[in-house]
Amino acid sequence: MTEDVWVLADPRAGTAAQALGIAERLGRPFRTVPLVWGPLSRLPLRWGTLAGLAPAARAAIAAPWPRLAISAGRRSAPVALWLRGRGVRIVHCMRPGFAEARFDLLVVGRHDSPPEAPNVLPILGAAHRMSPDRLAAARAEWGMFGEFPSPRVALLLGGPPRAEGMAPEVAARIAAQVAGFAGSVLATGSRRTGRPAEAAVAEAIAPLPHRLHRWGDGGPNPYTGLLAWADAVVVTGDSVSMISEALATAAPVFIADPGGLGPRHRRLHESIFAARQARPLEEAPTPFARAPLDETGRVAFEVAERFLGF
């Protein structure tokens, strides 16, 4: 049986997670189509084409075609439009930068200034895979975190997108702020954090009960477990993905400013603060009530209603 939903999965995990998260919430089988980019993907391809794909990835895209394809990111947009030329409805996350009226649905963060149009669905933050079911499963799987003293503060560290890791002094400053009000710290680095910054965090939280997951550590990744057991979440403001995932929890969320952020990230923070879904780290540890934000579920419902006849 051919899956009637395809996910065009960009090699970047955070980008692919936006499309995968929507597909997973549809509750039906789907096919993940890995996108491997060739040299032409660096060009501004502004029409429906597979030219940006490496030969093997291009060959893998063949009939029978699905009813729906879900994609994310600028480079996957030409691939999605090529499928639309074969009768496939297309849902795309983030603004493609061209031919926006040709997409059946664009899922765009409010911080990216989405236009008002029938095929544009604005959301707070970005779509992701941190569903309520996944958090519930992680709470059972990582029950050992329940033994850590409260308040358990999850510390999620990103890093500059185009630099050699987070500055250790910045990481140390943020971790020290967290250590000042946490009963225990459940911390994780990311691909962009860097070993020096992770070492600085380890030193800052050493006096407290803690778990620090360094990027590339072997064994199961506790990231979802940290979120599932957190009494509060502190996340650096440079990661749209981690901020959006943190908002899927019911815990108070505090955004730490690592410095050097551009207007896009500032708009993201302002939109989230305005929605009362998070506060700046400077306001911690004052608790505040908030409901879990499930924008991915809202998108999936809209996609099912519009394109899959639910």
Same domain, 139 and 121: no
Domain of residue 95, CATH code? 3.40.50
Residue 290 lies in a domain: no
What confidence tens digit (pLDDT) does each residue in 242-273 have? 999 999 999 999 999 999 999 999 999 999 99
Contacts of 198 (CB under 8 A, 6+ apart): 157, 171, 189, 212, 214, 215
Same domain, 256 and 138: yes
The token duo for 296 is 């991915």
What confidence tens digit (pLDDT) does each residue in 81-128 have? 999 999 999 999 999 999 999 999 999 999 999 999 999 999 999 999
Q: How many domains does the chain have?
A: 2
Domain of residue 222, CATH code? 3.40.50.2000
Same domain, 12 and 74: yes
- Rounded mean pLDDT of 299-305? 98
In this prediction, residue 2 has a pLDDT band, given cuts at 50, 70 and 90, of low
Provide the domain limits for residue 14.
5-129+297-308
CA dist., res. 48 & res. 154, Å (int): 42
pTM: 0.95
Residue 288 lies in a domain: no
Whether 310 has a pLDDT exceeding 60, the answer reads: no
Same domain, 191 and 234: yes
Residue 98 lies in a domain: yes
In this prediction, residue 13 has a pLDDT band, given cuts at 50, 70 and 90, of very high
Write out the DSSP string of 24-79.
HHTTS--EEEE--B-GGGGS---SS-STTB-HHHHHT--SSPPSEEEEESTTTHHH
Same domain, 228 and 246: yes
Same domain, 80 and 160: no
Same domain, 143 and 74: no
User: What is the predicted pLDDT for the residue at 279?
Assistant: 98
